[in-house]
Structure 1
């Protein structure tokens, strides 16, 4: 059952997202214009990363790609619709669109990776919540209804900084491993025992230099370096020999504090 239990946290996300979609700052209007263009032919939702990032920080810091999913047209029809934007097929079944300022990835619902692979039945947009690897990415915003959908503990987990695996199968385990390391440093989070054990084999296969190189090719903002990777490997080794069933976080980082009403009231949405 999907609930809106943590109303202050959803309130903050809604406030930031609606501001993003209605302001012309930083060419954000081109996102709205693209979405309105797509809506003439299909329902559309925003999925995953943008909603996660706007939950955790304000609009001024958001520079990432935006993921969209449509449900009324198939992949071929979607390509015809967006052809004038010179779409590039991405490696996960969708299309990359480069606007003047912003980057978008857009999928037909049936061609999102987990649904196309038969791992999830894709009857409607709500099924997208079952397709993300990280629990923090299991959230959608329905453009026509302006409703969010997410799993029961979504905002509770964000507030406490706890990340778990939502759908274990994925086409890019190395990328998942790098993203997990980045979140440990950027978000001061704790990852589940299951997620920790997922990334350990890939950390063992890669040298710190390989991890840094992968991040440099995949992310504009650089977080990792050789010293940080060696440090995290040291802490993981200590953790699995001491608290093997406990969530893992970097011990020298202060714990995240949950939002409170005052912080939301005074939040910067720009």
Structure 2
């Protein structure tokens, strides 16, 4: 695990050769608190170092009052696309950022949880995603990820999720990557999906190509994992 006070320094160190990206991060932080979540924070937290540049950076911005329009204008100066959930995908110096207005993230917009900073880590489907770092305030929320590491299991945090199949694929990838097991609750979610679709292993296998643009698990890997859950 890592002391929270090293994370901001390490983000700056990681990006020191990317001046435009650093300007973007610093500029963005003037509109509100930057809440880093997802793999870019998880892997450093687990390994105490950045072994390589993260695939992307997920950031929810807790905007200051009346800054939403100026925040959008700032982001739209860069190379960006809007996704179907209302967030921004921004590419700067070949580094990708997935940006959200905190209040517009799915679980808050759908009133699954109160739109509060501390609840962002509770809005994820998988416990291994349960980590959020406030870049401005240097505060860390890591209860669910820490639970996974201490118990060597991936659990469900918030069951309602618009991308459940994708998260079940990601759980298989994380199981292999971090050498974790599945909680009984997560196994039940797999069983429900398998019982609803006898071809579920094919769905998960093919989904990795649209999401990761890569093969992390072979078809046999996926089939074997699902069979082990059933039997």
Do these two structures clear the TM 0.5 threshold for a shared fold by scoring above it? yes
Unaligned segments of structure 2, at least 5 residues: none
* From 71, 84, 97, the counterpart of 1:104: 97
Tell me the equivalent position of 1:212. 205
- Distance change (3 Å), C-alpha of 1:30 and 1:220: farther
Structure ranking higher on relative contact order (CA contacts 8 Å, 6+ apart): 1
Shift of 1:103: 0.7
Shift of 1:14: 5.2
Shift of 1:185: 1.9
- Distance change (3 Å), C-alpha of 1:49 and 1:63: closer
Tell me the equivalent position of 2:76. 83
Shift of 1:17: 5.6
- Could you give the per-residue CA deviations for residues 33-86 of structure 1, whole angstroms, max 9, x where no partner exists? 221011222222212332112223341244321111112256554322211113
Take 2:7 and 2:70, find their aligned partners in 1: how far apart are those partners?
Answer: 32
- Distance change (3 Å), C-alpha of 1:24 and 1:173: closer
Tell me the equivalent position of 1:143. 135
Is 1:171 matched with 2:196? no
Take 1:101 and 1:14, find their aligned partners in 2: how far apart are those partners?
Answer: 27
CA radius of gyration, larger in = 1
- Could you give the per-residue CA deviations for residues 115-160 of structure 1, whole angstroms, max 9, x where no partner exists? 00011111x3112122111122222111122221232x64243244
Tell me the equivalent position of 1:196. 187
* From 32, 43, 46, the counterpart of 2:33: 43
Tell me the equivalent position of 1:54. 44
Take 1:130 and 1:92, find their aligned partners in 2: how far apart are those partners?
Answer: 18
In 2, are the aligned partners of 1:20 and 1:28 still within 8 Å (CA)? Answer: no
After TM superposition, the score normalised by the length of structure 1 is: 0.75
Shift of 1:213: 1.8
Say what the alpha-carbon RMSD is for the aligned residues. 2.4
Shift of 1:174: 1.2
- Distance change (3 Å), C-alpha of 1:199 and 1:29: farther
In 2, are the aligned partners of 1:208 and 1:225 still within 8 Å (CA)? Answer: no
3-state SS of 1:71 partner = strand
After TM superposition, the score normalised by the length of structure 2 is: 0.86
| Structure with greater strand share of residues | 2
